[in-house]
């Protein structure tokens, strides 16, 4: 097994176990989109555009009672070390679905019957935990688009490397570690909207992992709020 933690208890990139990678978020940078956001988290650089609610051109795939949420997670050819084919891969289709499912519980889609809301996620540069970063950013973009939502969704992964529980896995830790557990949460209600797990954890470790994730999500949520405040209220305060 690769040694991912040094004698001083630091991870490969010098972080402690409960530390997030450096991150920054920005809201509302695309003019033609209804709402947009950009996030950098570790090596991830992800741009999200939300379009809609808008009239669906066809009856197919619409719902008479609420808006239909559609999501596309896409990695650009230059986002990985080796060129990635721009065609949607099996992994991207799966991630699109889990992101959609992680965001939908937060949205009040009943307000826009028969319409569609599209979320386009473009990964410009990828690192570990890109689905979490995508959810965090998409949540900002949805708020920016003015789509009514119960709460912002914040997402982060917890993992186990060399027997230690750690927060916000990097790509190497994700690949070489024992466990990867991405979690998305609406912090007001504590409702978890995404949880996937690779590997095994004991019940005790699992509880600790959730606590660790909640701590990370709290920090990310603060940054989500800041990004929105920056766009909407910054000029007001100055």
Partner 1 sequence: MEDDKAGRYVLPGDFLGSGEYKSWANAIKIGDKFYATRVGVLEMGEDRIRVIPMSGPYIPKLGDVVIGKVIEVMPVAWTLDINSFFNAFLPAQHAFRSFDPERDELSNKFKLGDLILASIAKVERGRDSMLSLDGEGLGKIEEGEVFRISQVKVPRLIGKKGSMVQKIEELTGAQIFVGQNGIIVAKGPPESITKVKRAIEIVETMAHMSGLTDKMEDLLR
Contact residues toward partner 1 (CB under 8 A) are 34-35, 52-55, 64-65, 67, 108, 112-115, 143-152, 186-189, 225, 228-229, 232-233, 235-236
Q: How far is the CB of 66 from partner 1 (least distance, A)?
A: 10
Measure the CA–CA gap between 14 and 91, rounded to whole angstroms.
30
DSSP state of 102: H
3-state secondary structure 183-218: EEEECCCCEEEEECCECCCCHHHHHHHHHHHHHHHH
Token pair of 163, please?
């027997």
Residue placing its CB nearer to partner 1 in the complex, 78 or 233: 233
Q: How far is the CB of 158 from partner 1 (least distance, A)?
A: 22
Q: How far is the CB of 231 from partner 1 (least distance, A)?
A: 8
Token pair of 58, please?
């066809």
* Cα angle 32-46-33, degrees, rounded to a multiple of 5: 10
Coil, strand or helix at 71: strand
Residue placing its CB nearer to partner 1 in the complex, 74 or 225: 225
Q: How far is the CB of 202 from partner 1 (least distance, A)?
A: 33
Residue placing its CB nearer to partner 1 in the complex, 79 or 154: 154
Q: How far is the CB of 132 from partner 1 (least distance, A)?
A: 18
Residue placing its CB nearer to partner 1 in the complex, 22 or 146: 146
Residue placing its CB nearer to partner 1 in the complex, 35 or 129: 35
Measure the CA–CA gap between 73 and 122, rounded to whole angstroms.
6
Token pair of 158, please?
């917890």
């Amino acid at each position: 097994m690769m040694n991912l933690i040094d004698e001083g208890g630091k991870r490969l990139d010098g972080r402690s176990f409960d530390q997030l990678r450096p991150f920054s978020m920005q809201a509302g940078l695309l003019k033609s989109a209804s709402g947009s956001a950009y996030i950098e988290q570790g090596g991830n650089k992800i741009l999200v555009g939300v379009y809609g609610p808008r009239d669906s051109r066809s009856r197919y795939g619409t719902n008479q009672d609420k808006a239909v949420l559609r999501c596309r997670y896409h990695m650009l050819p230059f986002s990985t070390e080796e060129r990635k084919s721009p065609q949607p891969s099996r992994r991207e289709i799966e991630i699109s679905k889990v992101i959609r499912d992680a965001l939908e519980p937060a949205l009040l889609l009943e307000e826009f019957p028969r319409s569609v809301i599209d979320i386009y996620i473009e990964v410009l540069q990828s690192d570990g935990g890109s689905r979490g970063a995508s959810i965090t950013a998409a949540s900002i973009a949805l708020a920016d688009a003015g789509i009514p939502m119960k709460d912002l969704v914040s997402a982060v992964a917890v993992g186990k490397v060399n027997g230690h529980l750690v927060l916000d896995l990097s790509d190497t830790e994700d690949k070489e570690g024992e466990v990867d557990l991405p979690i998305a949460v609406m912090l007001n209600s504590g409702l978890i909207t995404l949880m996937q797990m690779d590997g095994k954890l004991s019940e005790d470790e699992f509880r600790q992992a959730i606590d660790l994730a909640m701590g990370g999500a709290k920090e990310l949520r603060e940054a989500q709020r800041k990004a929105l405040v920056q766009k909407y209220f910054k000029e007001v305060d100055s």
